[in-house]
Chain A
Amino acid sequence: MIPAEFDYTRPASLGEALQVLHDRGGEAKVLAGGYSLIPLLKLRLGTPGILVDIKDIGGLDGIAESDGELRIGARATHAAIAASPLARGYPILGDTAAGIGDPQIRNWGTIGGSCAHADPSSDWPAVLIAMNGSLVCRSVGGERVVAARDFFLDSFQTAIEPDELLTEVRIPKPPPGSGSAYVKLERRTGDFATVGAAAQLHLGGDGRIDAVGIGLTAVAEAPFAATKAESALHGAHPSAEMFREAGVAAAEQSRPVEDRHGPVDYKMAMVREMTERALARAAERAGARG
């Protein structure tokens, strides 16, 4: 399969890349690892006029803590995140990064590329939603920080404007007593998720859940926050019964469609199951007594 013709530029600096996006934003696509974009070009589902390869731009692949947040450069690969000592303080990142695709895909695929591509079956968006993360979009006009909960608009559609470049993903550092987990059902190793659930919770001094985030993958036109499940858990003691109830609430908010991964009722059952499992693992990591 051969992509349609396009122009290609590999700017040496962020300013240069933003200028190209400013001048040709409507017809430009940003190329990071390429593992989502190139298959799409080969299928001719996209026919951009120009690819802006951000490979040579310095400072886009860092992983560092700053101002109470973990800041991950958009070009950080899944493999780099999985191997990062800093990311170990955020176990949900390891769950997610190490489970994406296969080793070659993790070597090239990036967190920024995955979020900007916004495949509803990709894993990072639900994780960023559960963690109440945000995404940094840069243009020649300046910088916007968009909450993950406002970023993923529809299938393959995000809040990024055509002249903007996604430069960084930010995740608030969870306080002690927090736990997080990402659980997904995949039909075969390396498949996109049939259903994925991301959960983060914090246990207060009285053992009750005083903060909780839940994001779901692949069961709506876009990843979303399971807000009804979050409300159900707020103020509750963590327990298998509560997590089951949250799973039911998460499924009620889901809108899966039948496809080769399975029928709707099966997917609903799997939303309940994956949500329960993610919450149980997150609670365990938060130090909840069994």
Chain B
Amino acid sequence: MTTKHIQVTVNGEMREADVEPRLLLVHLLRDGFGLTGTHIGCDTTNCGACTVLIDGRSAKSCTVLAVQADGAAVKTIEGMADGANLHPLQQAFWDQHGLQCGFCTPGMIMQASYLLAQNPDPSEAEIREGISGNLCRCTGYVNIVKAIQQAAAELRSQEAPAEPVAAR
């Protein structure tokens, strides 16, 4: 079987690999690049544990071929923190106890980051709809929703202008 040479920007860093066309993106990330933060849960496009962003669009990486990501920018959970500073979503999941076993957490955070990029101020219903492709089997949805609400508020305050806005 012939392999394909691909170039993928992963968390801002250009990576190259020779892959079989049938290699799944999640396996390239975990086994090829050692980025084991992206988890394999159901392997059937249901659970969302393997969610990553591809050119900003959330995807279940068990259902994407590595060759499809050739030329694309992929973001995984490892790309969220800024050095030692947790991303507001990571901090919020910590603060709000948005996890028990933690298996779903990387996918949950990546999907939440996609949701907040689309909709910076989602309602609770919109958050629940937004993470409906991600399963948590520790029944942690209440705290996951709280965590996403906290992160949304934090991210909005970071975006807000430094000077107070005059009342309209």
Contacts and interface: CB of A to CB of B under 8 A. Distances in A.
A177 to B, nearest CB: 33
Interface string A31-61: 1001100110110000000010101000000
A84 interface: no
Chain A interface bracket (under 10, 10 to 19, 20 to 34, 35 or more): 20 to 34
Interface residues of B, number: 30
Given A35-B63, A104-B59, A5 B132 contact: no
Contacts of B133: 101-105, 190
Contacts of B24: 2, 38, 42
Interface string A251-279: 00000000000000000000000000000
Given A35-B45, A107-B59, A190-B132, A5 B1 contact: yes
Contact of B111 (A10, A31, A104, A190): A104
A6 interface: yes
Contacts of A101: 133
B51 to A, nearest CB: 6
B58 interface: yes
Q: Which of A1, A6, A55, A108 has the most CB of B within 10 A?
A: A108
Given A103-B114, A104-B133, A51 B63 contact: no
A31 B65 CA distance: 10
Residue from the set B45, B60, B67 with the largest chain A CB neighbour count within 10 Å: B45
A13 interface: no
A108 B2 CA distance: 26
A118 to B, nearest CB: 18
Contacts of A103: 58, 111, 114-115, 129-133
B98 interface: no
Interface string A1-15: 111111110100000
A231 interface: no
B146 interface: no
A42 B48 CA distance: 17
Interface of B: 1-2, 4, 20-22, 24, 43-45, 48, 51, 57-60, 63-65, 67-68, 70, 111, 114-115, 129-133
3 closest A-B pairs by CB: A102-B133, A8-B21, A3-B22
Interface of A: 1-8, 10, 31, 34-35, 38-39, 41-42, 51, 53, 55, 101-105, 107-108, 189-190
